[in-house]
Amino acid sequence: MMQLGQWQLETVSGGRFWLDGGATYGVVPKLVWQNVTPPDALNRIPFANHCVLARNGQHNVLIDTGYGSKLSRLDRSSYVADAGDPLIESLATLGLTPNDIDVVVFSHLHWDHAGGATRFDEARRAVPVFPNAAHFVNRWEWEDATSGAPELKGSYSAENFVPLEASGQLALFDGETEIVPGLWSRPTGGHTRGHQAFLLESQGEIAVYPADLCPASSHLRRMWCAAYDLYPLEMRRAKPELLGAAADQGWWILWDHDPAMAVSRLERHKSKEFTVCEQRPRL
């Protein structure tokens, strides 16, 4: 647990998984990235899903939801994904049920960030997991995710988020928005058109959740971006801008996918651009 002013922050796991290392590092040659993140025999590297539970006495906020329980047997095997519903199990260890969450915010709607927002009922219909929560999505992200565009078909699965609109729990927003007092969206683009980072502020302290703008501390350099990024030039501009603000102003970084740490501070580095200067394995 980490106290940030009035916010109490805790890591809740959305499930660990493995991804192809080449896709994860994009244009960076394997000869280079394998020295930072050694792959397994199938060229895969480990990923965490550090969703964030933020509580301030008025709201129980969940930032991203991991991949949930709906993965097919083939996908679960391919990604070496955890069994069951990791997010619900992680919340239970803190004494919380899905009914206790009143705000869910999404950095974007890819499967590993939004899949845990719905589950299959007995009739195998996708239904919301958090019945009392408003679910906040950037309008551009929603438009792209529901567009049916063939070039985005592999990026979005409607069963992860369309049920939220049907249940009346969807809240769309535009640009930089204060979701609840002390929780701000920060549009970044890059990974997707509507990708968001989130800033938590209280009593002069700030923590930022960059999501897939910089998924792990191994992606700190400007050019170390994933092949999954839809707008790589935007990514290369937005990432050092956000990380620079964090380093210069002493913000905490809340890592989503880093398998070794959940939170750290950064400092500028002459040759590496940025480096971790303080870290914790969990919030």
Percent of the chain at pLDDT exceeding 90: 97
Q: Is the pLDDT of residue 265 over 90?
A: yes
What pTM was computed for the model?
Answer: 0.97
Summary mean pLDDT of the chain: 97
CA 255 to chain centroid, in Å, comes to 8
CA 220 to chain centroid, in Å, comes to 16
Q: Is the pLDDT of residue 246 over 90?
A: yes
Q: What is the mean pLDDT of residues 210-224?
A: 97
Q: Quick one: pLDDT band at residue 5, thresholds 50, 70, 90?
A: very high
Q: Quick one: pLDDT band at residue 255, thresholds 50, 70, 90?
A: very high
pLDDT confidence of residue 17: 98
Q: List the 50-55 sheet strands across, edge first.
A: 2-4, 7-13, 50-55, 60-63, 103-105, 134-138, 170-173
Token look-up 């906040």 returns 136
pLDDT confidence of residue 154: 86
- What domains does the chain contain, in order, with CATH numbers? 2-280 (3.60.15.10)
Q: Is the pLDDT of residue 283 over 90?
A: no
Q: What is the mean pLDDT of residues 27-39?
A: 97
pLDDT, one tens digit per residue, over 65-93 is 999 999 999 999 999 999 999 999 999 99
Q: What is the mean pLDDT of residues 219-231?
A: 96
pLDDT confidence of residue 138: 98
Burial class from Cβ neighbours inside 10 Å (0-12, 13-18, 19+) for residue 173 reads middle
Q: Is the pLDDT of residue 215 over 90?
A: yes
pLDDT confidence of residue 281: 84
